[in-house]
Structure 1
Amino acid sequence: MKKLSIVKIGGNIIEDENALQEFLTLFSKIEGHKILVHGGGKRATHIASKLGITSKMINGRRITDAETLEVITMVYGGLVNKNIVAKLQANHINAIGLTGADINAIQSDKRPVAAIDFGFVGDVKKVNHNGINKLIKAEFTPVFCAITHDKNGQLLNTNADTIASQVAVGMSNLYETSIYYCFELNGVLQDINDKSSVIKNINTTTYKVLLAKGIIADGMIPKIDNCFDALLNGVQKVHIGNTAMLTKENDNFTTLTL
């Protein structure tokens, strides 16, 4: 079975032009088939502010009302996505920018209103792995922004980490899939105050120990839970670290396995 790498980048890389260029150069050198997933929340907040729209956040999650959805669509699907696609073309990668609505790639359900009404936020329901594979087989590199759809004409803001994991799960029917979550740290840390204290390997057993000791806590818990969900549903490996983990020379990052 051929290998497929799914790489997710967040706002800190997107907002730093030099870091973005460096990342895209590394991404371009990944051998074999690959898919890029990106967020863009910081840019969306900045543009919304310029337009006089106040961004509402609860527990670090964006409330997506109708106005905010328009900004997100413009920023994620337009400004950020097409900037990345253009830079990849300059790196000789024939990229194609997509939302989940394109080729019905990622279908979601609008999140039900519980204690908090998150608005037009989607939870992934289905990935069109055959449609995405047609692009890959045609030698295109898909670049997904953090927008999905409900197949009834409604776009939905969707967590980019979740998109990366669900696309990887969907594509695991056809490929040996690995996920690379790129962020500002070297990986999951033993000591949050020591940036070099990377835990290189975490499995389901060691994860329980790290949770009990409080080493993995707060916002890292849902991220790691998401990773193990992907592993339980067909993904081979999940990697967490900075962009240097995309190079063959670097092994200073975290790998999660079952």
Structure 2
Amino acid sequence: MKQKLSIVKIGGNLIEDTARLSHMLSLFSKMGGNKILVHGGGKKATEIGNKLGVEAKVVNGRRITDAKSLDVAIMVYGGLVNKNIVAQLQAFGTNALGMSGADGNAIQAYKRPVKEVDFGLVGDVKNVNTYGIFQLLQAGFTPTFCALTHDGKGQLFNTNADTIAAELAIGLSNQFETTLYYCFEKKGVLSNVDDENSVIPTIDSKKYDSLLAEGIIADGMLPKMHNCFYALRNRVAKVCIGDDAMLREGNSNFTTLTL
């Protein structure tokens, strides 16, 4: 029987809310078994970038990363946000290890090909070093990944944190029974965006198509849902979307995705 692995990705709004982030990290620390945390930090990168005179450029909800923007992302994701999270996890008794994709050659990527838009120094994942990450987990560490990857030739890339979480879950599904949690400020996928309690408990492929057609799933939720079903189609056991309460044992008020 495979060991279980929980991979939790936390969103930018949670990272910005100091009290809620602390609560979420406390719940994460109480989760049993093997676990990995993945975080972004785009809002903080925008804030710091503005102070440094580096304006954020976004097209269709996705960030364009030039050389100066990448410098900001490295400083904020890999430094400020990552180390603050790692320090808090240590305080909660979790032996976290802050990582980018370059550390331990954990996640290699290639520059996203130019189609309608040139996203610049944005990487799409090519390979996950599952053996190396497996060894860290077996040694009792909790890898804590920021949204940076590398090409193996010295170039770092900005990479979507939702995608990193999905690729880690897929890559490690041979060794583990993997559950992927997308943790953000909402209780789950909502049938009515104006009603915080209108959580859709379960979404399968057919239901997903229906919600798309009705326009209930739209905008920023689209790439997240794409990553969810991409993970499920590639042997990830379960995918869940909800707020920090989702990580509390016994709570069932969130959205579970199935094929």
After TM superposition, the score normalised by the length of structure 1 is 0.98
How far apart, in 2, do the equivalents of 1:236 and 1:37 lie?
A: 18
Q: State whether structure 2 residue 209 is matched by structure 1 residue 212.
A: no
Give yes or no for contact 2:61–2:220 (8 Å, CA) kept in 1: no
Matches within 5 A, 1:152-167: 152-167=153-168
Helix, strand or coil at the partner of 1:69: helix
CA deviation digits over 1:14-62, x for unaligned, max 9? 1111011101100000011000000000111111111111111112211
Q: CA deviation at 1:205?
A: 1.9
Matches within 5 A, 1:74-93: 74-93=75-94
In structure 1, give the amino acid aligned to 2:249: K
Unaligned runs of 5+ in 1: none
Instruction: Give the match for residue 146 of structure 2.
Output: 145
Give yes or no for contact 2:190–2:200 (8 Å, CA) kept in 1: yes
How far apart, in 2, do the equivalents of 1:55 and 1:222 lie?
A: 20
Helix, strand or coil at the partner of 2:192: coil
Q: CA deviation at 1:219?
A: 2.5
Q: State whether structure 2 residue 56 is matched by structure 1 residue 55.
A: yes
How far apart, in 1, do the equivalents of 2:53 and 2:222 lie?
A: 34
CA deviation digits over 1:215-251, x for unaligned, max 9? 2223322221211110010100000000000012321
In structure 1, give the amino acid aligned to 2:190: L
CA deviation digits over 1:181-202, x for unaligned, max 9? 0111110111112111110011
How far apart, in 2, do the equivalents of 1:218 and 1:43 lie?
A: 21
How far apart, in 2, do the equivalents of 1:164 and 1:117 lie?
A: 23
Q: State whether structure 2 residue 130 is matched by structure 1 residue 121.
A: no
CA deviation digits over 1:138-164, x for unaligned, max 9? 000000000000111100000000000
After TM superposition, the score normalised by the length of structure 2 is 0.97
CA deviation digits over 1:81-102, x for unaligned, max 9? 0110011110111110000001
Residues 212 and 57 of structure 1: CA distance in aligned 2, closer, same or farther (over 3 Å): closer
Q: Post-superposition, which runs of at least 4 consecutive aligned residues in structure 1 deviate over 3 A?
A: none
In structure 2, give the amino acid aligned to 1:163: I
Give yes or no for contact 2:98–2:143 (8 Å, CA) kept in 1: yes
Helix, strand or coil at the partner of 1:191: coil
Root-mean-square deviation (Å):
0.9
Helix, strand or coil at the partner of 1:211: helix
Instruction: Give the match for residue 108 of structure 2.
Output: 107
How far apart, in 2, do the equivalents of 1:24 and 1:68 lie?
A: 28
Q: CA deviation at 1:207?
A: 1.5
What percent of counterpart residues are identical?
Answer: 64
Instruction: Give the match for residue 30 of structure 1.
Output: 31
In structure 2, give the amino acid aligned to 1:9: I
Helix, strand or coil at the partner of 1:215: coil
How far apart, in 2, do the equivalents of 1:18 and 1:226 lie?
A: 28
| Number of equivalent positions | 258
Instruction: Give the match for residue 256 of structure 1.
Output: 257
Unaligned runs of 5+ in 2: none
CA deviation digits over 1:118-173, x for unaligned, max 9? 11000011111101001001000000000000111100000000000000000101
How far apart, in 2, do the equivalents of 1:84 and 1:56 lie?
A: 26
More divergent stretch after superposition (112-121 vs 129-138) = 112-121
Helix, strand or coil at the partner of 1:134: helix
Q: State whether structure 2 residue 192 is matched by structure 1 residue 191.
A: yes
Helix, strand or coil at the partner of 2:36: strand
How far apart, in 1, do the equivalents of 2:199 and 2:94 lie?
A: 32
Give yes or no for contact 2:109–2:123 (8 Å, CA) kept in 1: yes
How far apart, in 2, do the equivalents of 1:70 and 1:246 lie?
A: 33
How far apart, in 1, do the equivalents of 2:6 and 2:96 lie?
A: 14
Q: CA deviation at 1:211?
A: 2.0
Instruction: Give the match for residue 19 of structure 1.
Output: 20
How far apart, in 2, do the equivalents of 1:217 and 1:94 lie?
A: 37
In structure 2, give the amino acid aligned to 1:57: V
Helix, strand or coil at the partner of 2:25: helix
